[in-house]
Amino acid sequence: MFNYYFKLGVRSLRRNPALTALMVLTLAIGVAASVSTLTILHMMSGDPIPHKSDRLFVPIFDVAPVDNYKPGDKLRENQVSYPDVMNLLKSGQGIRRTGVYGVSAPIEPPRKDLPAFSGNGMAPTRDFFAMFDVPFLRGQAWSAQDDERGADVVVLSREIAERLFGESNPVGQRITMLGAPYTIVGVIDKWAPQPRYYRIVGGEQFGKGEDFFIPLSSAIRHEAQRNGGMNCSERAEPGYEGTLRSNCTWLQFWFETESSADRAALQQYIDSYAAEQRKLGRMKRAAPNGLFNVNEWMEERGVVGKDTKLSAWLAFGFLLLCLVNTIGLLLAKFSVRAAEVGIRRALGASRREIFRQFLIESAVVGLAGGVLGLILAFGALALLAMQGSEVAVVARMDMTMLAFTFVLSVLAAIVAGLLPTWRACQVTPALQLKSQ
């Protein structure tokens, strides 16, 4: 019976083409507005590494002076200092640890026909790659010994490797960076998590991935200038060495634990570490120390802004307005079929059958609206992507949102069709037959 009613629903679309087109268009516009906005919200707020997001932690310490501090003030820091990074790397806490900061460096290709160009990269420790599941196309990460001695080795992105060496294997080749020859030890495959949760401080939260990765110790040895922000609550000593010894915060630190249950022990460690630092004259505020997992860190950093959430609510409000209009159009569509309903009731059709038939017809309208809404949503996302590179990477629809578009459209049409369908079932057969 469902197939029969579905065919009736398809045929009913041709009964009044103008009214049907208006219903489908109204529903499609509402669905497109809500889905395109929700797609961006979905891409921005989704868990970027769901299988271990509750095992990756960012520690934050308040290293500012006690001036104007009141107990209970919100933690203002979002990065850590170089001395804290070095101490935490040696702590042995968790199964992996990495400190990282952004760097920019001119890259000089080995080929003379290619000009030098500027690249944006990161300076982590080797644990970074395993910690964040970075896929390798060729080669591998540098060794622990490379970290210790500050070796001049580099891991390139696939894009940069192909730009410099084409399809050939570049592992073992050398390029000049920071005025020194760097040996290529690996090439990562396409990898650009959105948002860039591993470095959402001091860089674009959305966008393409890094061009290269060099050891943190190598970047420090070459005094590579940071590509990101720095917060100095106290005056640092002059020179690069002065910055390294200071309380200026400009690096990010990550722990990976064996399980989420290890969080309490990690929190206890960083609290004990902060207490030891206070004995050395640092962290004088004795403020609570922060420890955030991936999703908490994105919330703390406001990855999804209030404007984006408000836009989503406004889009759903617009969809509700479209549903109200669709209800009116369905009432008009079903009211002209009162005689048909009366004849069917007189021939023995129950109200339940009439209700089922008209509700399926409403679903058919929703399906047509979903197809048109999907087309309009793709167009809206394409227009949004033209606003900039950060928007472009999140203004794309995945399979989840593709399925959600049709489900939302059909459900919206069914909800809109409940009142008109109920009204159609109240037709009195005797009155309709007498009027014929």
**One-character DSSP codes across 198-232:** GG-SSS-SSS---SEE--HHHHHHTTPPBSS--B-
Would you state the structure tokens that stand for residue 278, as one six-digit string?
Answer: 């206070």
The Cα–Cα gap between 433 and 346 comes to: 8
* Domain count of the fold of the chain: 2
The domain in which residue 385 lies consists of: 2-47+305-435
249 and 312 co-located in one domain: no
Domain end position, chosen among 236, 257, 288: 288
- Model's pTM, two decimal places? 0.72
82 and 182 co-located in one domain: yes
Tell me the HSE value of 355 on the side-chain side, using a 13 A CA sphere. 10
108 and 249 co-located in one domain: yes
Give the closest residue to 245 by CA, choosing from 257, 237, 254, 253.
237
185 and 284 co-located in one domain: yes
- Determine, yes or no, domain membership for 317: yes
**Neighbour tally for 186: CB within 10 Å:** 21
43 and 69 co-located in one domain: no
314 and 428 co-located in one domain: yes
Does the CA dihedral 69-73-76-79 come out positive or negative?
positive
401 and 253 co-located in one domain: no
C-alpha separations of 244 from 46, 99, 248 in Å: 36, 14, 8
- Determine, yes or no, domain membership for 372: yes
| Torsion angles phi and psi, residue 139, rounded to 5 | 70, -150
87 and 218 co-located in one domain: yes
- Determine, yes or no, domain membership for 300: no
Q: What is residue 344's three-state secondary structure?
A: helix
265 and 229 co-located in one domain: yes
| Torsion angles phi and psi, residue 434, rounded to 5 | -70, -30
> Is the previous residue joined to 195 through a cis bond, with omega within 30 degrees of 0?
yes
- Determine, yes or no, domain membership for 56: no
Q: Are 128 and 112 in contact (CB under 8 A)?
A: no
Give the closest residue to 373 by CA, choosing from 333, 408, 398.
408
- Determine, yes or no, domain membership for 30: yes
Q: CB-based contacts of 421: which residues, under 8 Å, 6+ apart?
A: 330, 334, 355, 358, 359, 362
Give the closest residue to 367 by CA, choosing from 399, 414, 332.
414
161 and 207 co-located in one domain: yes
Specify burial of residue 254 (Cβ count, 10 A radius: 0-12, 13-18, 19+).
Answer: buried
Domain end position, chosen among 247, 262, 288: 288
- Determine, yes or no, domain membership for 419: yes
Give the closest residue to 311 by CA, choosing from 56, 18, 44.
44
Q: What is residue 369's three-state secondary structure?
A: helix
17 and 138 co-located in one domain: no
What pLDDT sits at residue 431?
46
Q: Are 362 and 417 in contact (CB under 8 A)?
A: yes
What pLDDT sits at residue 432?
44
* DSSP H/E element including 188: strand 180-188
Give the closest residue to 344 by CA, choosing from 332, 333, 356.
356
The Cα–Cα gap between 397 and 36 comes to: 8
204 and 122 co-located in one domain: yes
* DSSP one-letter string for 89-113: HTS--SSEEEEEEEEEEEEE-SSTT
C-alpha separations of 117 from 106, 175, 181, 183 in Å: 6, 12, 15, 18
Q: What is residue 143's three-state secondary structure?
A: coil
Query: What DSSP designation does 428 have?
Result: -
- Determine, yes or no, domain membership for 427: yes
- Determine, yes or no, domain membership for 379: yes
pLDDT in tens, the chain (436 residues): 556 556 655 666 666 677 777 777 887 888 787 777 777 766 666 778 889 999 999 999 988 887 777 776 667 778 899 999 999 999 999 999 999 999 989 898 887 888 888 889 999 999 999 999 999 999 999 999 999 999 999 999 999 999 999 889 999 999 999 989 999 999 999 887 877 888 877 656 666 789 999 999 999 999 988 888 888 877 777 888 888 888 889 999 999 999 999 999 999 999 999 999 998 888 888 788 999 999 888 888 776 656 666 677 777 777 777 777 777 777 666 665 656 655 565 655 666 776 677 777 777 777 777 778 778 877 777 776 676 655 555 566 667 776 777 677 777 777 777 767 666 666 555 444 444 5
